[in-house]
A and B are shown apart, each in its own frame.
Chain A
């Protein structure tokens, strides 16, 4: 219960926290192709080390990254194992009908490594940036689209609300779980069928509650003078500082190095 969930902002005041959200977003945008394009181990090691360095700089204990990503990593690991088994190729090891191929191992290993690096980078972003900052950055990045009559601000606000709603969803589910558990629903025992049958009285109110929370949120926003399409100002003005230029430069350099290595 006392676990940090993915997407939670953690105030820590580190250099990474102080970066402009726009530069963080651009850095991620540069890192993604770098990770996906490298095909040599040295390059990916370099990118991974860079990501780990940023993790260390973020002022958040590495254990927390592990904790919040654990559920996803379990999923990844399962898909890794499946991939290893089902990719055809030269058999390294045969255990009855299970065959582990060299290609399978290599291919899935690469995939696992890449996705882990990307997840880590994404966690750095969400741990050190509030949803509102992300929205502002996104709005800025998309602002050229405004000329093509894309409602950028509304789009960004929608994303912001989706992000801000994640903890609310968890909270709502948790409260409902507690409310039902403290009046006798036992979610932990019984046969699978029994457990599933207990889920219906849980899911139905959860959905209704979530919808009414969304309604209430819209009302709360309206009370505070939010209006679709109206110009909003900002509490924090975004400003590029030397650290931002440094971060952007380094990430561009990494992407450039990867591309050059690939071309050679």
Chain B
């Protein structure tokens, strides 16, 4: 848990219901994101992850509770612009967030809106395109890209804004494993250099890379813990239709067969280390 001075986003018993809907998509969520913290969010379909992302980016105003971003209340209209600068959001469907007719212009759109000098805009575009591996496609029209390429472009568009926090809603669902690894590396180095990252994902191995994991179900925050603690809650995860990480699932199978394993095996390295210890 980050200390009070290090808190970037603070959710105070946040609730949200879509207009015309009887059910609350988010219920009484209290949590916080520290500066430079890497958080992943998991949960079944319809559990409210995308809604939470939009609330955290200040796009949806809460029906109850309060969201503070870098000390600013998202409910106050005058802090809206500042909040947009502070939080970058990558939405679930990349098609929805491409704004320009050429790849590089799309990435430049955000920095241009910040009013940065041209040289700086250019540098950021170069950097963002290189980070997602799209430099070769800079002059292509976005609507002619493949699914995975569109997702990369959407990520680049937000990276170029250099916000204090990036919220990504399943940004890698259409990427191949290497592409996913690349994006994850980019996110990790972002968080190392001081940007907070909130990553929504259905890939547990990916979620396990974070500092903390939030588990959502039916709009409630069920769990807010380190990966090792959450991913050994096999029964809870299975009950929700989720799984542990691959290594965690293997550990679970072995435990079921009657072996005793140390708690907290999450990555392949953990598993290999454990097996080496026992079998050598």
Contacts and interface: CB of A to CB of B under 8 A. Distances in A.
Q: Do chains A and B touch in the complex (CB under 8 A)?
A: yes
Interface of A: 8-9, 11, 130-132, 163-164, 167-168, 171, 213, 216-217, 219-227, 230-237
A225 B85 contact: yes
Interface in B69-111: 81, 84-85, 88-89, 91, 96-102, 104-105, 108-111
Given A132-B102, A220-B96, A168 B143 contact: yes
Contacts of B139: 11
Given A130-B105, A223-B97, A235-B105, 9 more contacts: A11-B139, A131-B100, A171-B143, A223-B57, A224-B113, A227-B113, A233-B118, A235-B122, A235-B125
Nearest to A132: B105
5 contacts: A132-B101, A219-B59, A223-B89, A223-B158, A232-B113
A246 B248 CA distance: 69
Nearest to A167: B143
Interface size class, chain B: 35 or more
B116 interface: yes
A227 B81 CA distance: 8
B42 to A, nearest CB: 23
A226 B109 CA distance: 8
Interface string B132-159: 0000000111010000000000000110
Contact of A225 (B97, B108, B114): B114
Contact of B84 (A225, A231, A233, A236): A225
Interface of B: 57, 59, 81, 84-85, 88-89, 91, 96-102, 104-105, 108-118, 121-122, 125, 139-141, 143, 157-158, 161
Contacts of B117: 233
A236 B118 contact: yes
User: Looking at B88, B101, B125, which has the most chain A CB atoms within 10 Å of its CB?
Assistant: B101
A164 to B, nearest CB: 5
Contacts of A11: 102, 139-140
